[in-house]
Structure formats: C-alpha cells, structure tokens
C-alpha cells in the first residue's frame, strides 16, 4: 500500500465562543463532566484541585455600582498550535504523553503515558490542565453511568480537554462504514457545543471554509491565524500560543481582558504577529 502522509488536507479543529451569548449557566461544564467520565469529590470548592476540563470564569469590568458589568468566559483547553505545533505543554512534556496532531490540530493527552511530573501544567498559560491528586471514586452505584468511550483516569496523572476526540473516533468509524473520507461537520461536535442552551459555542474545522467556525472566525494565516472578525480575540494572543479557541465579544472591555494591554493600546490595532 502506498504511503499517505495524511488523510488528505489536514484539519484544524477549533472553536468560536460567543461571549455575548454565553450566560455562564455551566451546562458546558457538566456536559463535559458527563461525557468524559470526570470524577468529583465531596468538596469541589477548591478550584485549584477541582478537575473541570471546561471551566467558566467570571470577568468583571472593574467599575463600581451601577456601572459594573460581568461577562462569563468558558475555558476549554485552547489547543495551542504555537509555532508549527509546538504548543507550550507539548514542548515540555518529557514523557511524550501530550502531543500535537498535524492532522486534526488537537493537543492530545495520553493519561496512561503520563507520569505526573506536571511540567505541562506549569507551561500552560490557561490553567487548562488538571492533576489527579486522588484516585477517582464514584459513589456506590454511580459507576453505572460511566461511558466506555473515555478511559477513566487514575491518581498521579494530568488530564485535560480533548475536544471530545472520542467523538471524532466514533464519527470516523461511521465515515468508513459509509465509504466517506471525511467526517461531516455535524458528525463531530464536542459535548459542550451540543449542550450549550444559548448556542454560544461553534465547533468545527478552521481550515474548512464550509464550516461555520471558519466563516465566523475567518482566520488570517498570514497573520498568525488571527481572526479577521473585529469582535474576535484569543486569550494571551500576543504570547504566540496561537490558540484554536476564539472568543467573540461586542464589548471592548471583554476583548481587553483577553490579553495584557498597555494603557494606550487598543485591541484589534496590534502589529502583525510573527513566528
């Protein structure tokens, strides 16, 4: 059989999250927990050790009553592409437990490979990675709802959002059966996207102009994949993490919260990004 470098043009799965629509309800967080066999403890209020692949942050505009304003920001793993796939976590992993796929653009975490050094957690600017300080324990009977699609993790390993990669695997299965080369847009959607009652999350292939996410984001490949949508921004964009999760907001203070700006700097007026 002839060697194929990749299955056709590489994909680049990413998200556009509309913060104008997001209500901070937490459905994405729980959809993720239910989909990915995420464990829980009696006390989950220490958020540093509370495993939430998807976590909602509350942003405030810093103004006093009644000019105060809030905005919620859901934070999955940002699946940084960095420079040619050298995302911050992938670059530091000594165990080859985390990897960047050029075919899907997904940053993977293989928990059985991970030995728990937590370098990746230190390297991740988004606190998107979580360490299992304890073995997962499901209260009596609850292990019945565990999904066979995602392997439950054990104590001593790091885990994070996978963009529900198992759903891609299952969609691929179906595509093979149907004799298709590619997974259709609707066949691979993350659990958070599917659940979001506000329809705030759009997921798909950023490389595919037919996908809604591409149409919203309009990534500029000549400018470090920055969005051409004036409402869009990425978190800590200027660090060059080249993330694949884009946020949309009509409010300047929200867009500003996405990075560190000097007083005179405005968002959307930055110099070109270089790698």
Partner 1 sequence: MKVDRRSFLSFVIGGAAGTALSPLPWKLMDDSSIWSQMWPWTPVPPDGEVVYEDSTCTLCPGGCGISVRKVDSRAVKIEGQSGHPVNDGSICILGLSGLQMLYGPTRIKSPMKRIGERGEGKWQKISWDEAFAILTEKLTDIRDKGEAHTVAALAGSDSGTVPALIQRFMAAYGSPNFMRSPSYRDVDELTVKALFGADGRTGFDVENADYVLSFGSGFVDGWGSPVRMFKAASLWKEKDIPVVQVEPRLSNSAAKATRWIPINPGTEADLALGIAAVMVANGIADTGDVSGLSGWENDLLANYEPQKVAQTTGIDAAVIVEVAKGFARADRPLALCGRGKAQTAVSLRETAAVYILNALTGNINQEGGMWAIPEADYIQWPDVATDNLASAGLDQPRLDGAGTGKYTDARYLTNRLADSVNGGGPYPLQVLLVAGANPCHYLPDTQHVKAAFARIPFIVSFSSFQDETAAMADLLMPDHVYLERYEDVPVGAGLVQQMIGLSKPVVSPQFNTRHLGEVLIMTAKAMGGSIADAFPWDDYETCLEETLAEKWDTLMETGVWVRADTDPVAGSIQLAGLDAPAVQAEGDVNSFPLLLVPYDSIQLTSGYMGEAPFMIKAVSDTVIQGTDGFIEINPLTASGVGLGEGDRATLTTPRGEALVRVHLFEGIQPGVLAMVRGLGHTAYDGYLAGKGVNVNELIGPVEDPSTGFDAAWGIRAKLDKA
Partner 2 sequence: MSTLDEKAKAGMEDHAAHGSDAKESGAGGFIILFFIIGFAASMVLGWVIFPKLLYSQKQQPLNFNHALHVEEVGEGCEGCHYFREDGSFSGIPKLAQCTECHEEPMGDTEDEATFVEQYVAKEREVPWLSYSRQPDCVFFSHSAHVIGAKMDCVVCHGHIGESEVSRPYEYNRITGYSRDIWGKDIAGLKKNSWDRMKMDDCAQCHKEAGMIHTSSVQTDRDACFVCHK
- Judged by the rule CB under 8 A, the positions of this chain that interact with partner 1 are 18, 20-21, 23-27, 29-31, 33-35, 37, 40, 42-47, 50, 52, 56, 58, 60, 63-66, 68-72, 112-113, 135-136, 138-148, 151-155, 194-200
94 lines the binding site for partner 2 (CB under 8 A): no
* Integer Cα distance of 248 and 2 in angstroms: 43
226 close to 246: Cβ distance less than 8 angstroms:
no
85 lines the binding site for partner 2 (CB under 8 A): yes
* Integer Cα distance of 214 and 41 in angstroms: 38
Choose the one of partner 2, partner 1, none that binds residue 221, judging by a C-beta under 5 to 8 angstroms depending on kind: none
Q: Which is nearer to partner 2, 60 or 173 (CB)?
A: 173
* Integer Cα distance of 228 and 219 in angstroms: 6
Query: Can you tell me which residue has the tokens 């942050």?
Result: 57
Choose the one of partner 1, partner 2, none that binds residue 175, judging by a C-beta under 5 to 8 angstroms depending on kind: partner 2
* Integer Cα distance of 42 and 211 in angstroms: 41
DSSP category for residue 220: E
202 lines the binding site for partner 2 (CB under 8 A): no
Helix, coil or strand: residue 75: strand
Q: How far, in Å, are 3, 4, 31 from residue 35 at the CA level?
A: 35, 33, 6
Choose the one of partner 1, partner 2, none that binds residue 100, judging by a C-beta under 5 to 8 angstroms depending on kind: partner 2
182 lines the binding site for partner 2 (CB under 8 A): no
Output the smallest distance, CB 28 to partner 2, in A. 21
* Integer Cα distance of 117 and 242 in angstroms: 25
Choose the one of partner 2, partner 1, none that binds residue 235, judging by a C-beta under 5 to 8 angstroms depending on kind: none
Output the smallest distance, CB 111 to partner 2, in A. 7
Q: Which is nearer to partner 2, 5 or 45 (CB)?
A: 5
Tokens at residue 165, please?
Answer: 């990669």
Q: Which is nearer to partner 1, 87 or 109 (CB)?
A: 109
Choose the one of partner 1, partner 2, none that binds residue 99, judging by a C-beta under 5 to 8 angstroms depending on kind: partner 2
Q: Which is nearer to partner 1, 40 or 261 (CB)?
A: 40
* Integer Cα distance of 183 and 168 in angstroms: 8
């Amino acid at each position: 059989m002839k060697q194929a470098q990749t299955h056709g043009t590489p994909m680049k799965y990413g998200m556009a999250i509309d913060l104008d629509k997001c209500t901070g309800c937490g459905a994405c967080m729980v959809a993720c927990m239910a989909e990915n066999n995420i464990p829980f403890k009696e006390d989950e209020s220490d958020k540093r050790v509370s495993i939430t692949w998807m976590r909602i942050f509350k942003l405030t505009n810093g103004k006093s009553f009644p000019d105060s304003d809030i905005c919620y920001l859901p934070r999955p793993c940002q699946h940084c592409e960095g420079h040619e796939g050298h995302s911050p976590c992938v670059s530091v992993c000594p165990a080859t437990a985390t990897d960047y796929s050029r075919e899907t653009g997904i940053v993977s975490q293989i928990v059985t490979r991970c030995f728990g050094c937590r370098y990746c957690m230190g390297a991740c600017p988004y606190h998107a990675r979580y360490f299992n300080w304890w073995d997962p324990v499901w209260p009596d009977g609850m292990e019945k709802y565990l999904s066979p699609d995602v392997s439950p993790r054990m104590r001593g390993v790091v885990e994070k959002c996978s963009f529900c990669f198992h759903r891609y695997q299952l969609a691929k299965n179906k595509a093979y059966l149907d004799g298709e080369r590619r997974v259709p847009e609707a066949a691979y959607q993350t659990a958070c996207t599917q659940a979001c009652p506000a329809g705030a999350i759009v997921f798909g292939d950023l490389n595919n102009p037919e996908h809604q996410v591409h149409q919203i984001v309009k990534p500029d490949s000549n400018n470090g994949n920055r969005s051409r949508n004036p409402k869009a921004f990425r978190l800590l964009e200027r660090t060059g993490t080249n993330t694949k999760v884009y946020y949309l907001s009509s409010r300047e203070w929200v867009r500003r919260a996405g990075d560190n700006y000097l007083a005179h700097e405005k968002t959307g007026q930055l110099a070109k990004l270089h790698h």
